[in-house]
Structure 1
Amino acid sequence: MTVHDPRLHAFRADLADLRLKGEVEAERFVAGTLARIVVPVADMRRQPKLESGIDTQLLFGDAVRVFDQSDGWAWVQAERDDYVGYVAAEAIGSAGQEPTHIVSAPRTFVYPGPDLRFPRRSVLSMGSTLAIAGQVETRGTSYAVLLSGEAVIASHLRPIAEHAGDYVTVAESLLATPYLWGGMSGFGVDCSGIVQLAMRMTGRDVLRDSDMQAAGLGEALDPGPDHSGLQRGDLVFWKGHVAIMTDRENMIHASGHTMLVSREGLKDAIARIGYLYGGPTGFRRP
């Protein structure tokens, strides 16, 4: 049988994705059912229990394929990046109408109607996708109205087909966002999460984990012994970590050292990280 990464292929001893039939062993194969995430952020775990760590997160509107639901958990695969894991069953809803807009601000409030004085109902992260029914202006502020009648500040959204031009600028808009292992939202991100989220906003879907990004995102790069060949947007990898260069000498990353999305000089980071984990393991240009 072909060896598959279980993070990217849905298979268990008892059940597997029908698309893997003949490639993996399982008692039963199913096609799965398309659905969407209906909560602001859904934690995806390796095992169906709260004690299992967060591997990644799915955002409101994300499409998923559901293979199994039991005991309050759904076993799913994200359509955007193929990541497989368990999310709370309550996070899953009907596939519904195709989203028309994406949240482009780091975070935005959802109001019960088009008025910022109304008490907020929820908060959505950058990268969340919504189906918008219309637009209303209240006291000079434009609101995008959802199918539910709820409303979001219109300037915090853009049409889903319109993309940011520079993923580094998107990452910089998340400065001071808290570090969260497995985080993939404007409420908390990890090192590879900010790379994936920022690139999502430019219309580019990339794999989730830093080892996956180090293996195949863009082209491998040799910046020279003094790293003078680096430029804005290049990626620097360490064992289990990735950072984004903002220019030839400085970088931005979700740092476990500051527990924030932070700026840091590359030389300083190499010296600091090297103490525990050694030097950079690779460089790539997306």
Structure 2
Amino acid sequence: MSDLPDRRLNAYRTDLAEERLRGVVEASNYVSGSPGLICVPVVQLRARPELECGTDTELLLGETVHVLDTSGGWAWVKADFDGYVGYVPDYAISPVVRSLTHIVTAPRTFVYSEPDLRFPTVQALSMGNRIAVIDERDTRGTRYFLLEGGQAIIANHCAEAGAPLSGDYVSIAARFLETPYLWGGRSGFGIDCSGLVQLSMMMTGRSAPRDTDMQAKGLGTEISHDDLRRGDLVFWKGHVAIMEDDKTLLHANGHTMSVSREGLEDAIKRIGWLYDQPTGYRRP
């Protein structure tokens, strides 16, 4: 069959496809999927159920998915937030969708075994992770949120779910400066260029497509180089950067292997030898 839908946003195989694609693609069976919840801080989503397969994107603790199939230790899922389709290890999915009350707002933070910073850490969490707070406690002047099992997290590293941090996603992106670059990354532990745009916008209550080509086609409106201002996006083939002001940009990039700040004209000159000139500018 020719002109098949984008496999990143449409779930289909010869044996199985999502119900909404009935009549669009041929498959032996069609399913609507069952709800699931990501139950680990960060999990890589892949195009194939193989550890050797590169990462397309990542899903974060507390994000919801629709599980289309499970087999051989893998779950084939579609993310509810951005519609991305792929495979994650089945241990990363909980079948029970719990009520999650808060979202992590620090780029990175820790969960402690008890509400005391001197106690052992249980795990590290990323901005965008969603948690269920059941109580709170004050220890030596530091406020903690209590989680299941008596575990605790620093309260001022969290906000109520559904409460945007601010209207300025650029200030959120700047908090990731020096975060390692990671292809397919979408967390405070490692992030790529389009992941930085998407996660920063998500924290301000805005949605954005996941990949650079998707953002270049449909995020906001097209503008010219001369109109650039804070918050605008600059696109190259396979890359996107966020304007911090009319002359400086922020981007997760393979040159520094981190989120860094760079002059716009310097970036255009440096990137040009490999990826030519910018392909476009957009105002989200």
One of 247, 252, 255 as aligned partner of 1:254: 252
Report 1:132-171 matches (<5 A): 132-165=133-166, 166-171=168-173
SS in 2 for 1:148: helix
Distance in 2, matches of 1:164 and 1:157, equals 10
Q: CA deviation at 1:252?
A: 0.2
Q: Residue 21 of structure 1: CA displacement?
A: 1.5
Whole-angstrom distance in 1 between the partners of 2:232 and 2:18: 35
Check conservation: 1:199, 1:205, Cα contact below 8 A.
yes
- Superposition deviation, residue 98 in structure 1: 2.1
Deviations 1:211-267 (A, max 9, x none): 0000000111113xxx3x210000000000000000000000001000000000000
Q: After the TM superposition, which residues 1-286 of structure 1 pair with which residues of structure 2 at under 5 Å, given as runs?
A: 3-165=4-166, 166-223=168-225, 227=226, 229-286=227-284
Partners of 2:60 and 2:108 in 1: CA distance? 12
- What is the rounded CA distance, in whole Å, between the counterparts of 1:148 and 1:130 in structure 2? 13
Q: How far 1:3 moved relative to its partner?
A: 3.7
Cα distance in 1, alignment partners of residues 23 and 276 from structure 2: 41
> Could you tell me how far 1:181 is from its partner in structure 2?
0.3
Distance 1:216 1:254 in 2: 21
* Equivalent AA in structure 2 for residue 199 of structure 1: M
TM-superposed deviation, 1:114: 1.0
Give percent identity, aligned residues only: 57
Report how far residue 94 of structure 1 moved: 2.5
Q: What do you get for the CA RMSD once the two structures are aligned? A: 1.1
Shift of 1:25: 1.1
Equivalents in 1 of 2:11, 2:133: separation in Å?
Answer: 32
1: distance between equivalents of 2:173 and 2:184?
A: 17
Deviation track 1:192-216 (CA, whole Å, cap 9, x = no partner) reads: 0000010010011211000000000
Given that 1:63 and 1:95 are in contact with CA atoms closer than 8 Å, whether structure 2 keeps it comes out as no
Question: 1:149: how far off?
Answer: 2.4
Distance 2:64 2:188 in 1: 19
Aligned length: 282
Q: In structure 1, what is the Cα distance between the partners aligned to 2:271 and 2:89?
A: 35
Cα distance in 2 for residues equivalent to 1:95 and 1:10 = 22
Question: Which sections of structure 2, spanning at least 5 residues, go unmatched?
Answer: none
- Indicate how the Cα distance of structure 1 residues 9 and 148 shifts in structure 2: closer, same or farther if over 3 A, else same: farther
Quote how far apart the aligned CAs of 1:4 are: 1.5
TM-score by length of 2: 0.97
Counterpart Cα distance in 2 of 1:58 and 1:149 = 25
In structure 2, C-alpha distance between the alignment counterparts of 1:285 and 1:96, rounded to whole Å: 35
The question of whether the paired residues in 1 share the 8 Å contact of 2:35 and 2:97 is answered with: no
- Aligned to 2:150, the other structure's residue is in SS state coil
CA distance in 1, matches of 2:149, 2:163: 24
- Give, as a single letter, the amino acid of the residue that structure 2 aligns with 1:62: E
Amino acid at match of 1:7: R
Moved more, 112-121 or 243-252: 112-121
What's the CA shift for 1:167?
A: 0.4
Any gaps of 5 or more consecutive residues in structure 1? none
Per the normalisation by structure 1, the TM-score is 0.96
